[in-house]
Amino acid sequence: MRFFDLWALALGNLAAHRLRAVLTTLGIAIGIAAVIAVVAIGQGGRAVLLAELEKLGTKRAFNISVDWVRGEAPTAGTFTLQDVAVIKELSPAVDKLAPVTSGMFIDIRRPHSRAEPLFCQVIGTTPDLTGVMNIPLAAGRFFSEADVAGHRRVVVLDGALAERLFPREEALGKQVFLQDVPATVIGITERQTGQLLGTMGMQKLVFAPITFTQDLLNTRVIHELNGAAVTEGAVEQAIADCLTILEKRNPGAGVNYTGMSMAESLAILGRATGVMTLIIAAVAAIALLVGGVGVMNIMLVAVTERTREVGLLMAIGARRQDVLKQFLAEAVALCLLGGAFGVLLGAGGAWVIAYFADWPPLISLWTVLLAFGFASLVGLVFGLYPASRAASFSPAEALRHH
């Protein structure tokens, strides 16, 4: 039997039982749609996240911290402002180095406001942070070394936070209260910077001199150091210099200093998001297996209904492999039709979800081809038993079947 004749016959048999074919393909369509939507949304979110993170830090950026994996936490003596000054003086590979003291869920409000206070994340640092991370300002300025040395109560607000605090007026130059401590707004970042750094929109950021932040939080703990090397090729040397100097200056700190470049951070994040997308897609693929069971059940029913037809085909010269191919073609056609509908449904669902999540879904050609390939495989696997059962009939017994 020729290829095109085989598929014409298979599609004709499916058209004769339209409702049953539609209901059968529904399970396959749901499985394919789930896989397409999950992979598209995952790839889109991953691409946006990595792109935004690349904007935040230069390729020369690196981070120095304690070994969080071992459960270590910095104390007041782990990092000091003097450590930062010594590293910048002794290491020719280090261009910028910004200490960071941060506080989560800090309430911020306008003076004399009766509204509920908002919560923000306060990032206490030095002007060097602007040389490490790309923090574009929409208005005003970042704080200076003089602001840090003078413990001045000045802040730079995330753009979205500034709009919420001052919806009808300019925030620049106004006063805000951080845990009832007054501070003057000297700068406002662009919206996207605060949204990303502010734990992906969960909290908005407030940048402040590290000395003011430590006074506000009543702590002298510096949580980490963010730096930039003089060149991209000097990053590893800059990290090594930082670790060596810190270990020599703080031999009794009781922690393990670790360093990581921006490139390493992006690679780890990329692998983590890729694994998560793969796991969720694998869970979604279970729906395909459920759809495959439905295809097998329907094909078994079709074999029973068409037993006399099979006997007649064999009586006029059809070979067993022709019968096998015919029923396999019908099973694969069912799955491919479900796959086509599933791709359309999954792409539409991905666009809708991504629209509300504010990132574009990435529906690549290989994802669509993989979906159709997997649908074909499901048709072959779950259609093989019904097809082989039909091919095993003897013509005489099949013709006597009622």
pLDDT digits (tens, 9 = 90+) for 322-367: 778 777 888 888 888 888 888 888 888 888 877 776 666 677 777 7
pLDDT digits (tens, 9 = 90+) for 153-162: 999 999 989 9
How many angstroms separate the CA atoms of 383 and 297, rounded?
Answer: 9
What are the boundaries of each domain within the chain?
A: 3-52+268-400, 73-255
C-beta atoms surrounding 321 within 10 Å: 10
How many angstroms separate the CA atoms of 136 and 187, rounded?
Answer: 10
Given CA atoms 19, 25, 29, 30 in this order, what sign does their dihedral have? positive
How many angstroms separate the CA atoms of 349 and 347, rounded?
Answer: 5
C-beta atoms surrounding 112 within 10 Å: 7
C-beta atoms surrounding 145 within 10 Å: 11
Q: Which residue, 224, 263, 37, is CA-closest to 123?
A: 224
pLDDT digits (tens, 9 = 90+) for 162-213: 999 998 899 999 999 999 899 999 999 986 554 444 444 456 899 999 999 9
**83 close to 255: Cβ distance less than 8 angstroms:** no
pLDDT digits (tens, 9 = 90+) for 96-133: 999 999 999 999 999 887 778 889 999 999 999 998 88
